[in-house]
Amino acid sequence: MKYTDLCARAEKALEGVTEGEWLYRPNRHDDWGVVKVGDFHLCQIRDPNCYTTDQLNEARANKIDPWEANARFIAFARAWVPAAAAAIRELEADLDHIREQRNFTQRQVVFAEARVAELEGALLNIDALDPEQHIDGCSMGVIRGLVLRMGSIARTALSKIGETK
């Protein structure tokens, strides 16, 4: 399942859900598993058939709500689900931007590699540019060596870019 599908399902599930901050707030004895919005009793998570009478009496004596974890989870989920969906959408937008940058960089690498190959080809034929070797006292061997070294440096730089793809 795509994350956008998950977000859409979560957002659809929130349609028509009571607004406001949901809280676990029992007010009195046996007010177990209650989720409220303000003073409004939103729901109660309670199944008295899953505990024996002795277990429920022990919970009353110890002032423990056996359904507290369920009620707290439901109250938490009301705030968390929309926040998580928004965060996922934001992360996906960031990921799309990173993909665009990667694709642009890959296109730049392809262009640079083609340009380096083109320049290397031209440099291999440098003798044709100066057949009389008039370049201010430098031999063609020195110039060719410098040019080939520059090509080597460019290839190394491009390979490093390729490693970070």
Give the pLDDT confidence score for residue 112 in this predicted structure: 86
- The CA angle 159-160-161, to the nearest 5 degrees, is 90
Which pLDDT tens digit goes with each residue over 33-48? 889 888 888 888 888 7
- Mean pLDDT of all residues belonging to the chain: 82
Give the pLDDT confidence score for residue 120 in this predicted structure: 76
Give the pLDDT confidence score for residue 76 in this predicted structure: 93
Whether residue 84 contacts residue 10, with contact meaning beta carbons closer than 8 Å, is answered with: yes
Query: What angle do the packed helices 3-13 and 68-124 form, to 10 degrees?
Result: 150
Domain boundaries, the chain: 3-98, 99-163
With a cut of 70, say whether residue 137 has pLDDT above it: no
- The CA angle 78-34-39, to the nearest 5 degrees, is 80
Give the pLDDT confidence score for residue 77 in this predicted structure: 92
Q: Extract the runs of DSSP E, i.e. beta strands, from 31-162.
A: 34-37, 40-44
Over residues 122-142, the mean pLDDT reads 63
Which pLDDT tens digit goes with each residue over 96-126? 999 999 999 999 989 888 888 887 777 666 6
- The whole-model pTM stands at 0.57
The rounded percent of the chain whose pLDDT value lies above 90 is 19
Sign of CA dihedral 38, 40, 42, 45: positive
